Structure 1
Amino acid sequence: MTGILIPSRPLEPDGFRPFGDVVQAGLGTVSRVNDGRADRFDGVGRLERSMGDTAPAIAVYRIDASTLPHRIPRLERHPLSSQLFVPMNAARYLVVAVPSDGEGLPVPGRAAAFLAAGNQAINYRPGVWHCPLVALDRPADFIMVMGQAFDASADCEFFDLPEPLAVGPAP
C-alpha cells in the first residue's frame, strides 16, 4: 500500500484534544442522579456552531467493515459545526484527523490515527479535517449529531490528497 504511512494508536482524550472531544463514561465531572440509580458525566464534550445558519440534525450511519492497513485518498471537514459520532454496536473503529495550516488546508504529514473502542464516541470540532469513520472487525452503526447547514454545500468541504494516507495497526 502506497502513501504516507500513519501508525494508529489507542484513542485517548489528550491525544485527540487538538481535533475535538473523546466522549465516554468516566470522563468529566460525575454526579449521582435519577434517584441515586445513575451517574451523570458532565463536561465530556460540547456541540459547537462556528458561523452561519444551521439546525440540529441527527442521522444514523451504517458503515461496512474494513481492515488495516486502510488507504485514505480524500479528507472532509464541516466548517460550520462540530460533528458527534456515537457508536451503537461497533467493536473497534478508526478515527483519522488532520490539522490545518494557516490557510485552512490540511497538513497530511501531521495526520493522527486513533483506534477507538465501541464505548468511545468522538466529537470533531468545527473545521477539523478527517476521513470518514472506518468500522473495523464488523459492520457498525453510529448516531451522528451536528448542526446541519441550511445550504449543505456551505458546510461540507472535501480535499483530495496529493498522496493518499495509509493507516496501519498500532506498532
Structure 2
Amino acid sequence: MRTINIQPISAEAFASYGDLIDCSGAPDKIINQGLCGRYHDRAELDFGDGQAGLSLFNAEPRALPMPLLMMERHPDGSQAFVPMSETGFLVIVAADEDAAPGLPIAFETTPGQAINFHRGTWHGVLTPLSAPGLFAVVDRIGQGGNLEEHWFESPYQVARP
C-alpha cells in the first residue's frame, strides 16, 4: 500500500487547493468597543447556481494509519469546514489530473484553524482525528448534483511520519 505522510498545514502549502482560515496576523478591524478583532473575509466562497448554506456535520473520529479509498470534489461550489471544537483535523487534497485526483497530499490543522476548499478541488472526506467531530460547513445548496467521487484501484495509507 502506498503511504502518504501527514504534514502540518500552512497557508502557502494549501493555497492551490483552498484557503487556510485562522487568526494569523493583525486583525483587519477592531470592533465591539475595542474588545474584538475582526479578521475579515478569510475565504473565497464561490458558488455557481444555488446559494451558500450553513450545515452542521457530526463526523466520527478516524484512527491513524488510515486507508484512503476515495476522494471527492464539488464542481459547483466551494466547501468550508469550520470545527466547533478546539481540535485539529486531517485534510487530504490532490491536484486534478485528467478528471481524476493526482497524488494526494495530507495536512493536519491545529486548534483554531478551519479550511475552505476551492470549487472543483479533489479532497478526502471530513476527517476528525479526535472527538468531538462537530463542524459547521458552508457549501452550495441548490438544484442538481454537486458531487463527483473517485475510488482508487489501489488505496493509499495516510500516516504520521
TM-score, with normalisation over the residues of structure 1? 0.87
Contact 2:88/2:113 (<8 A) preserved: no
2:67 is matched with which residue? Answer: 71
Q: Secondary structure at the match of 1:66?
A: coil
Question: CA deviation digits over 1:45-79, x for unaligned, max 9?
Answer: 12112x3x212221111111111111111111100
Q: Does 1:163 find its partner at 2:154?
A: yes
Whole-angstrom distance in 2 between the partners of 1:119 and 1:87: 8
Shift of 1:42: 2.1
Shift of 1:20: 0.1
Structure 2: state its 5+ residue gaps.
none
Shift of 1:133: 1.6
Q: Secondary structure at the match of 1:64?
A: coil
Relative to its length, the structure with more strand (as a share) is 1
Whole-angstrom distance in 1 between the partners of 2:72 and 2:34: 43
* Structure 1 counterpart of 2:99, from 89, 101, 104: 104
Shift of 1:15: 0.8
Whole-angstrom distance in 1 between the partners of 2:85 and 2:147: 26
Shift of 1:8: 0.3
Identity %: 27
* Structure 2 counterpart of 1:26, from 3, 16, 24: 24
- Kindly report which structure 2 residues correspond to 1:140-151, keeping only aligned pairs within 5 A, or say none: 140-151=133-144
- Kindly report which structure 2 residues correspond to 1:10-49, keeping only aligned pairs within 5 A, or say none: 10-27=8-25, 30-49=28-47
Contact 1:80/1:149 (<8 A) preserved: no
Contact 2:27/2:37 (<8 A) preserved: no
Q: Across the two proteins, how many residue pairs are aligned to each other?
A: 161
2:129 is matched with which residue? Answer: 136
* Structure 1 counterpart of 2:119, from 126, 131, 142: 126
Q: Secondary structure at the match of 1:15?
A: helix
Q: Secondary structure at the match of 2:13?
A: helix
Which amino acid in 2 is paired with 1:116? T
Using a 3 Å threshold, how does the CA distance of structure 1 residues 105 and 64 change in structure 2: closer, same or farther?
Answer: same
Question: Stretches of 4+ moved more than 4 A in 1?
Answer: none
TM-score, with normalisation over the residues of structure 2? 0.93
Which amino acid in 2 is paired with 1:148? I
Contact 1:90/1:135 (<8 A) preserved: no
Question: CA deviation digits over 1:8-34, x for unaligned, max 9?
Answer: 011111111110000011247522112
CA RMSD of aligned residues (A): 1.5
Structure 1: state its 5+ residue gaps.
none
Shift of 1:142: 0.3
2:79 is matched with which residue? Answer: 83
Which amino acid in 1 is paired with 2:63? T
